[in-house]
């Protein structure tokens, strides 16, 4: 049913597909280079809510509902939801997805959470645990500044190595491959609520549903700690983890940078990217011609004053939903290594002098 090719990676023999994705963003993201590609853009960042946290939950809920709607699936048909965010006790996710009433696994992988959620969704779908899985993450500039730094009202200054947390949520519907399990097994009795949804009209399918993006494999990251302690320089803290996961993916799958059309990190930003290039070169690879970073893609460096680039769970998620997946769906990119990166810290660990280790999960997206 699947082949395990190395110590951290899985290659799915019957790879599941991402059949729909949705992106919900705030005002600043709307003004950025990807602005026209997002599904829902807020005029302010409150989404009709009273607090930043409630606004973030609203984004998650809207992203989930939209992703489900695009695929013409009902929430009851989704077996499990995998979701997380940056806030303490993952409260944006708990409050955001509650109304969907999908059995759920709460995750925390800092800004790598979109990779973690997609990996687990793909693993569950490929294993035959259900036809549909939903992966969702979010971040919000207002709630993240309050959580990790200072409330916005303090108007505190930030160094040039700091990132700008993206206000956004991305949701992804993962569907098990329809061909019978290669092994012939996987007996599955569907309950009454799981009858397949009506086939979509061909007419609007192209604009909303996808049928060519498969999650071919995953490389699950380890915690990588180079001892850095500067929470205002997340790019440097996360670059070693990105390197570790990218190189591990190459080794596990017998590949090099030549086998990918793009290698796309989550939110290393300008500082982290240059460190990543150096670290990867030290391992004998050169990914400079293949590399993109969502944090550098989502904002315009010259005009948007976002310093080292965008960050947050939402950064990689909405860039994947709006910018990366359409290119894989169209076949412009045949194979992409998507590597969201997370910095593992809290205000408590920072104040107690702990280092800021990183983690990164690799998702292999293929056009088929």
According to CB under 8 A, which one of 36, 44, 103, 289 is a site residue for a copy of itself? 103
Cβ nearer to a copy of itself, comparing 56 with 293: 56
CA dihedral over 148, 153, 158, 164, signed as positive or negative: positive
Residue list 124-143, contact with a copy of itself (CB under 8 A): 124, 126-130
According to CB under 8 A, which one of 149, 194, 300, 327 is a site residue for a copy of itself? 194
- Taking the C-alpha atoms of residue 206 and residue 360, their distance in angstroms, rounded to an integer, is 31
Residue listed under structure tokens 């894989």: 328
The verdict on 87 binding a copy of itself (CB under 8 A) reads yes
Residue list 37-66, contact with a copy of itself (CB under 8 A): 50-51, 53-54
- The least distance separating a copy of itself from the CB of residue 132, rounded to whole angstroms, comes to 12
Neighbouring CB atoms inside 10 A of 305's CB total 10
Phi, psi values for residue 238, rounded to 5°:
-95, -20
- Taking the C-alpha atoms of residue 150 and residue 129, their distance in angstroms, rounded to an integer, is 42
DSSP element (H, E) containing 168: strand 168-175
The verdict on 13 binding a copy of itself (CB under 8 A) reads yes
- The least distance separating a copy of itself from the CB of residue 301, rounded to whole angstroms, comes to 28
According to CB under 8 A, which one of 16, 26, 109, 240 is a site residue for a copy of itself? 109
Residues 6+ apart with CB under 8 A from 97: 60, 61, 64, 81, 83, 104, 136
3-state secondary structure of 306: coil
Tell me which stretch binds a copy of itself (CB under 8 A): 102-110, 197-205, 209-217, 273-281: 102-110
Assigned token pair, 51: 């607090």
Q: In this structure, are residues 294 and 322 in contact, taking their beta carbons and an 8 Å threshold?
A: no
Residue list 154-183, contact with a copy of itself (CB under 8 A): 181-183
The verdict on 95 binding a copy of itself (CB under 8 A) reads yes
**Residue 332: left if φ>0, alpha if ψ -120 to 50, beta else—which one?**
alpha
According to CB under 8 A, which one of 41, 301, 354, 368 is a site residue for a copy of itself? 354
Residue list 210-239, contact with a copy of itself (CB under 8 A): 220-223, 225
Residue list 257-276, contact with a copy of itself (CB under 8 A): none
According to CB under 8 A, which one of 30, 232, 256, 346 is a site residue for a copy of itself? 346
Cβ nearer to a copy of itself, comparing 122 with 236: 122
């Amino acid at each position: 049913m699947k082949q395990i090719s190395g110590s951290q990676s899985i290659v799915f023999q019957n790879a599941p597909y991402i059949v729909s994705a949705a992106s919900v963003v705030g005002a600043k993201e709307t003004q950025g280079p990807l602005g026209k590609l997002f599904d829902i853009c807020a005029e302010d960042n409150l989404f009709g809510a009273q607090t930043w946290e409630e606004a973030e939950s609203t984004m998650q809920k809207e992203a989930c509902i939209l992703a489900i709607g695009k695929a013409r699936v009902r929430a009851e048909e989704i077996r499990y939801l995998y979701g997380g965010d940056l806030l303490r006790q993952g409260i944006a996710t708990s409050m955001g997805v509650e109304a969907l009433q999908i059995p759920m696994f709460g995750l925390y992988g800092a800004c790598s959470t979109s990779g973690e959620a997609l990996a687990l969704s793909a693993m569950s779908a490929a294993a035959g645990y259900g036809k549909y899985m939903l992966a969702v993450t979010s971040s919000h500039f207002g709630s993240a500044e309050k959580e990790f730094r200072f409330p916005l009202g303090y108007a505190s200054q930030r160094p040039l190595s700091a990132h700008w947390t993206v206000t956004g949520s991305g949701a992804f519907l993962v569907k098990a491959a329809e061909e019978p399990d290669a092994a012939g097994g996987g007996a599955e009795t569907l309950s009454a609520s799981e009858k397949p949804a009506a086939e979509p009209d061909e007419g609007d399918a192209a604009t909303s549903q996808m049928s060519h993006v498969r999650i071919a494999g995953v490389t699950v990251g380890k915690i990588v700690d180079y001892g850095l302690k500067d929470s205002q320089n997340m790019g440097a803290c996360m670059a070693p983890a990105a390197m570790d996961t990218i190189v591990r993916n190459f080794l596990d799958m017998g590949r090099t940078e030549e086998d990918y059309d793009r290698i796309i990190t989550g939110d290393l930003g300008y500082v982290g990217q240059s460190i990543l290039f150096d670290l990867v070169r030290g391992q004998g690879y050169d990914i400079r011609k293949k590399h993109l970073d969502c944090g550098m893609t989502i904002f315009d460096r010259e005009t948007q004053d976002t310093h080292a680039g965008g960050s947050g769970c939402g950064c990689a998620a909405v860039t994947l939903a709006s910018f990366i997946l359409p290119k894989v769906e169209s076949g412009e990119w045949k194979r992409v290594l998507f590597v969201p990166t997370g910095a593992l810290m809290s205000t408590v660990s920072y104040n107690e002098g702990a280092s800021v280790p990183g983690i990164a999960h690799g998702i292999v997206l293929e056009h088929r």
